[in-house]
Amino acid sequence: MLPRQILRPALFALALLAAAPAHAADPVFPPASRIGLAAPAGFTPSKRFAGFENPFASALIAVTELPADAYADVEKGFADEALKSRGWTIKLREPLTFKDGKGFFIAGPQESQGQKRSEAVMVATTGGITAIVSVQMVEESSATITDAVLRDMFKTLTIRATVPESERLAILPYKIGNLAKFRLVKSAPQGVALLTDGPKDEVAAVEQPFMLIALAPGATPKPEERDAFARRTFSSAPGIKDVKITRAEPLRMGQAQGYEIVADAKDATSGTDVTTVQWLRFGQNAYMQMFAIVKKSAWNDVFPRLRQIRDSIEPR
């Protein structure tokens, strides 16, 4: 066996080799992401989050998609003083230009809870979205994954117009067997799915029905506790006011125990009359929340389709 004083440098040399600054010829899109990059060699698309990771270099590249009009607010959030308060010292800040947009690139050391690392972020408005690309790595890896390497990577930023629905479905930790003529707009490996029925991806003033599905950790409440638990969960539902619960009762969803709440309300922004439903589906160590909101005038037509979606969900 190699002595430890030889083994450690050898392992670090392998990490640096895996982080070599060569780039792929074409941008790669992490699953279900519109944001593509030619990441440095050694980085592969992550199965844990939207982005890339290089475990040998203890480095990751996370990508986030926001609406185009979020750019100005995001830019303000990356002011030097705001970042300094979080332990991040900005050593480099420079503008970037794209064919149909603009952005900026910042980089520097960051220290949190006694741990030092190197970070870089690019924020860009291009392709109809605001794209955030965040790079985090241990200090040693910054010797090879340099600012110049990251600058070259940021220049390869590519935004694709759409993501295939099959790709969005595939990253979910559960199966949706029947979309009931809804579209899957957004999804995440953690189990979040947003579905809508209509042409717009960003739903405002309940112009279109939408359904949100999410997973949350937690033991199954006892039967006598489920009504109170469901009502507490429902009370955090966004975008509604003047809520009047019309039905609240337990029900089975396949082999699982669940709880249903149906309520009339008003859209908080427009005042439009809406009807909402929340289904909780309990598991051993987690539960699934399904929340939908529909114009009251369309409720009778849409509700059966929402149940079709609910009843088609199965674990992988």
Count how many residues are written for the chain: 316
| Identical fold between 4-159 and 165-315 | yes
Per-residue pLDDT of the chain (316 residues; tens, 9 = 90+): 333 333 343 333 334 334 444 444 589 999 999 999 999 999 999 988 999 999 999 999 999 999 999 999 999 999 988 888 888 999 999 999 998 999 999 999 988 777 889 999 999 999 999 999 999 999 999 999 999 999 999 999 999 999 999 999 999 999 999 999 999 999 998 999 999 998 887 766 688 999 999 999 988 899 999 999 999 999 988 889 999 999 999 999 988 899 999 999 999 988 999 999 999 999 888 999 999 999 999 999 999 999 999 999 998 8
* DSSP conformational letter for 104: E
pLDDT at residue 203, rounded to an integer: 66
Q: How far apart are the first and last CA of the chain?
A: 43
Contacts of 312 (CB under 8 A, 6+ apart): 175, 176, 177, 178, 180
- Cα 139 to Cα 121: distance, rounded to the nearest angstrom: 16
Tell me which residue has tokens 């960003």. 202
Domains of the chain, by residue range, sit at 4-159, 165-315
Strand 51-54 relative to strand 59-67, pairing: antiparallel
Phi then psi dihedrals of residue 58, to 5 deg = 50, 55
The class of domain 165-315 in CATH terms is: alpha beta
Decide if 250 contacts 214 (C-beta within 8 A).
no
pLDDT at residue 48, rounded to an integer: 87
Q: Can you list the alpha helix ranges (DSSP code H) found in 2-48?
A: 4-18
3-state secondary structure of 121: strand
4-159 fold: Protein Transport Mog1p; Chain A (3.40.1000)
3-state secondary structure of 103: strand
